Amino acid sequence: MKPNLIAAMVFLAAAVAYAGESSRIRMPPLGFYTLDMTKEFWASIDDAHRLKGGVADVLPYEGIKRLVILRCNMHVPGGDYLDQFIRGWLAAPARFHPGPLPESNTRDLRSPLLTVLIETPKGDLGLLTIHSDAAFLELNGRFGLVLGK
């Protein structure tokens, strides 16, 4: 399936979920809770649903079947810049932050640089939202926070 077709289907599902005030569906946009992260939402996530350990152990870059860029609010030079940018957030030694979101990281949560839909070889879909100093990964109902270098 082509990436544009996947993105169109995801956006169509989001539009149906938000189809008017009378709708009883309370799904988050695109079905992912971390699309527009807030400090309050991160604090509300139970410890059992937080990803722990090394990012590459949970989602190695080589274990990604397909990436679909959903939102890009940054300058992208030519070549493999986006590939290297995403790889930098997922590669070792990056680790998931287990605690609360540091106060210094909350100022830019409404302006992510990049949001990427991830498909694994098993067909699981995940969302990686990268901000200037933090990245959020949502995969299989679990959530991870990676702090910038």
- How many CB atoms are closer than 10 A to CB 38? 14
Structure tokens at 100: 């609360």
Max CA distance (Å), the chain: 47
Reported confidence tier of residue 17, pLDDT bands at 50, 70, 90: very low
- Reported as a single tens digit per residue, the pLDDT across 65-117 is 999 998 899 999 988 999 999 999 999 899 999 888 887 765 667 788 999 99
Reported confidence tier of residue 7, pLDDT bands at 50, 70, 90: low
Residue 38 has pLDDT above 80, yes or no: no
Reported confidence tier of residue 37, pLDDT bands at 50, 70, 90: confident
**Radius of gyration (Cα) for the chain, nearest Å?**
15
What is the DSSP secondary structure assignment for residue 100, as one 8-state letter?
A: P
Residue 22 has pLDDT above 50, yes or no: no
Closest CA to 89 of 125, 33, 128: 128
Among the residue ranges 44-48, 69-73, 103-107, 128-132, the one predicted with the least confidence is 103-107
